[in-house]
Amino acid sequence: MNNPEPEFLPVPGIRLGAAAAGIKYTDRNDLVVIELAEGTDCAAVFTRNAFCAAPVVVAREHLQAVAPRYLLINSGNANAGTGGDGLRAAREACRALAAARGCAINQILPFSTGVIGEALPVNRIAVAVPEALTALSDRGWPAAARAIMTTDTVPKLCSRQFEYQGQRVTVTGMAKGSGMIRPDMATMLAYVATDARVEPGLLQACLEQAVAPSFNSITVDGDTSTNDACVLLASGVSPCPPINDSGSALFKDLCSAVGEVCMELARAIVRDGEGATKLVEVRVDQAASLEEARRVAYTIAHSPLVKTALFASDPNWGRILAAVGRAGVEGLVVERVGIWLDDICIVRHGSRAADYTEAAGQSVMEQDTFTIRVALGRGDQSTRVLTCDLSHEYVRINAEYRT
């Protein structure tokens, strides 16, 4: 890989190691072990896809039973759509790591990403586990971020740090995801860690608060993965006091830092969307409800006609207007609708703005980052969704994914 080493801050109490198991790739690491300090608390959200992968089932079971000590992640094989054999394979992978570290099997949380419907080569994972353990380091984030990549072109890694009563608290996260992105919970795979000590219920609340405007508000292609998972780890190694009050300044500072990390990772996923050349924010204002705003935003963001116009830098505003009209907004008054590209008004009172010019619209759409804003004229609710364009390269990548 020729990509520059991403910047990050180590998280005390969290170590990561990567190894090459040869699951699908022959020239790179594809297995990651994350070691958690004793007493680390863990919060997680998982895919809502009914065909959830075997590791999702097993990770949920283990997380409900006992606090985890290790996370085991592989790329190149999703272990999804594999039935009972897949569940046994996920548990056997956990068994291999548990045996090497002398811990219980249910102290391991498994995660997989890659091709759906193929048997997980557990024997290769078992052979590579010792190498991953040898590589464990608090500076292992960049190698781990690369190892979990599939069609990603760059590793996705982000850190934030803040001070509380003279003590520093660190938050670092990594994610993978480039296609099959409309998560409906989090993202394909994301792992965020802090050295703060947080009461488990508050840790879960912090995670859910962070994923709502970030990983839960992005789309590349409208497809929800079978393997989506987002995990927030709190090692408790920081000398700061424990967080057990949702109203405390420390909890608010932590939520802010976790939210910023998740947002930056979410933006990185969309910017790295398969074949993407544009990062576009779709903002819907003046909706009667949040659900209505999200429905309109996603209708625009998922429209193949809108997305191909984005790729062509074609200000074909009729496609946007048509998407708004078919979003299912009951009683929509077209004459109240306005649409902007950044600060260029293209639709006013339901029709083309009198002062709009095609050249002005195209100048915005030729940028690699811009905003489509829609005002519905119905209320005071608003939302925004991050999306990207749909290019020739997206078709090529997904047509050749299994070859």
Does pLDDT of 177 surpass 90? no
Between residues 179 and 313, the one the model is more confident about: 313
Percentage of the chain modeled with pLDDT above 90: 81
Contact 246, 203 (CB under 8 A): no
Closest CA to 255 of 297, 196, 309: 196
The lowest-confidence range among 13-22, 171-180, 380-389 is 171-180
Does pLDDT of 1 surpass 50? no
Cα 396 from Cα 158, distance rounded (Å):
29
pLDDT of res. 227: 81
3-state DSSP call for residue 365?
helix
Question: Helices 317-325 & 304-312, crossing angle to 10 degrees?
Answer: 160
Between residues 392 and 125, the one the model is more confident about: 125
Between residues 181 and 156, the one the model is more confident about: 156
- Domains observed in the chain: 14-271 (3.60.70.12), 279-399 (3.10.20.340)
Cα 402 from Cα 136, distance rounded (Å):
31
pLDDT of res. 219: 84
Cα 108 from Cα 191, distance rounded (Å):
15
Does pLDDT of 236 surpass 90? yes
pLDDT of res. 186: 43
Does pLDDT of 212 surpass 60? yes
Between residues 392 and 63, the one the model is more confident about: 63
What ranges in 161-274 are assigned the alpha helix state H?
200-211, 249-271
Instruction: For residue range 237-283, list pLDDT tens digits in order.
Output: 999 999 999 999 999 999 999 999 999 999 999 888 777 889 999 99
3-state DSSP call for residue 149?
coil
pLDDT of res. 199: 96
pLDDT of res. 391: 84
Strand partners, 349: none
pLDDT of res. 281: 96
Active-site annotation, residues: 187
Closest CA to 111 of 84, 142, 77, 72: 72
Contact 374, 337 (CB under 8 A): yes
